[in-house]
Amino acid sequence: MTDSRALELVEKVLSNDALFKLAARELESLSPDLRAAEVLIEAFRGGRAQPWLTAYLLGCIGHEAGYAVVREILLAAPRSLAESYAGVALAKIRGAGAFEDLAALLTEAPQRVSREGAAYGLRELGGPAAMAAVAAAGRDRHIKLDVAASILAASVTAELVLELLDSGGERGLAIVAVIIESRLTTTETVEPWNPSESPGIVVAVRGSLERHGHGLSQLRRRHLDQWLEQHERKLVLANSEGQ
């Protein structure tokens, strides 16, 4: 059964795309609607809906009928954030069932913006496997370093940091440095991992900095040194109190 409200919302946005955010919130609260997806796809094919808007709203509608079109938009790389919206939409439409497709697109899509769109889709899915795939793509230069770091910053684990430092060389260190830097330059106090619970991280970062730090900018290296000094002092204090 078609939810007439979903179709009504799509038609309103097609008449005035400034309403897309308001419509999106309500569409996400409704059941996936085939007719709403079909009307939006028809508008896209007819040039009445921009690729970014089509990808964004198909993700909010959440019907499987939109998956192939969203994937097409991701690979076409039309810019205007369409690729980022498309990657997220794939995750929203198919959930965990999109993981293998997104992981493949992350390394195999011809254009970097498409691969980065897939990375944002994996962020939407979340979980260790998704974050490991993003970390590997950043390490192996399939996506920009800053994109990988921004996706990893909120949920990277100590294990994944150690893997980046162990296997990524200069590039792995740079990703970790950007993650640390992002936490130092925000008002948030939560670490992406807890160095006091994983003291091996501090040792690993220091060792990697000594081996590969020549590739970092002076500012980034200074930020990393500040972070290391702070946590090295904490570790020395904790060790002295434990004796």
Walk along the chain (243 residues) and give the pLDDT tens digit of each residue.
445 899 999 999 999 999 999 999 999 999 999 999 999 999 999 999 999 999 999 999 999 999 999 999 999 999 999 999 999 999 999 999 999 999 999 999 999 999 999 999 999 999 999 999 999 999 999 999 999 999 998 888 889 999 999 988 999 999 999 998 887 766 554 555 666 667 788 999 999 999 999 989 999 999 899 889 988 888 777 677 665
E-strand ranges in the chain read: none
Choose among 164, 189, 184, 187: nearest CA to 174.
164
Cβ atoms of 83 and 116 closer than 8 Å: yes
32 DSSP 8-state letter: P
The model's pTM: 0.90
Cβ atoms of 113 and 143 closer than 8 Å: no
